[in-house]
Amino acid sequence: MSSSPSPTETIVLGGGCFWCTEAVFDRVQGVLDVESGYSNGQTLNPSYEQICTGRTGHAEVVKLEFDPAQISLRELLEIFFVVHDPTTLNRQGNDVGTQYRSGIYTTSDAQKQVADSVIREIEASKTYSSPVVTEVAPLANYSTAEAYHQDYFLNHPNQGYCAFVVGPKVEKFQKTFASRVKA
């Protein structure tokens, strides 16, 4: 009798610059794959240069493949809401534009229900002094970012943006969610 591998799920998250979001989720136990990309815009297969104009409608995102037997979507979203600011519209720190919006792009109705529930709980808890502006929408028009964006922090840890912006987000994750860090 062979045991089949547990089914995986996919969720796509926009938390500002995908280098930051990818670097965090690469380290989360139960996340099997992280891919930087673009989603929920109008242009088919946009380039990074097109995304940077803010005219494609896309968000910089990470596509997460995860094992729900190891980590729940709720836990992934709890991490997501700690490692980025979900209260700034079309902005994360000095990164400004619609491509840097906070978003949860779902692949099922069940995921949408979990996302909406987590946001309601955050709002009720008054965790933030401003309202959560995270967009929750079905995943649409996803495309993979260029190869040089994949594993960017891993490959360029001493690059300025990585050292001063990405690194502190990774450290915050590792301190706040120590029990969820991959061995």
Q: Tokens 């990470």 identify what position?
A: 62
Q: For residue 47, give the nearest of 7, 1, 99 by alpha carbon.
A: 99
CA 79/CA 31 separation, integer angstroms: 12
Q: HSE of 174 in the Cβ direction (CA atoms, 13 Å)? A: 11
Whether residue 34 contacts residue 25, with contact meaning beta carbons closer than 8 Å, is answered with yes
Q: Tokens 């029990």 identify what position?
A: 179
CA 164/CA 182 separation, integer angstroms: 23
Exactly one of 17, 20, 52, 162 is catalytic; name it: 17
CA 10/CA 166 separation, integer angstroms: 23
CA 122/CA 136 separation, integer angstroms: 14
Residue type, 174: Q
Q: Is 17 a catalytic residue?
A: yes
The residues that are catalytic are 17
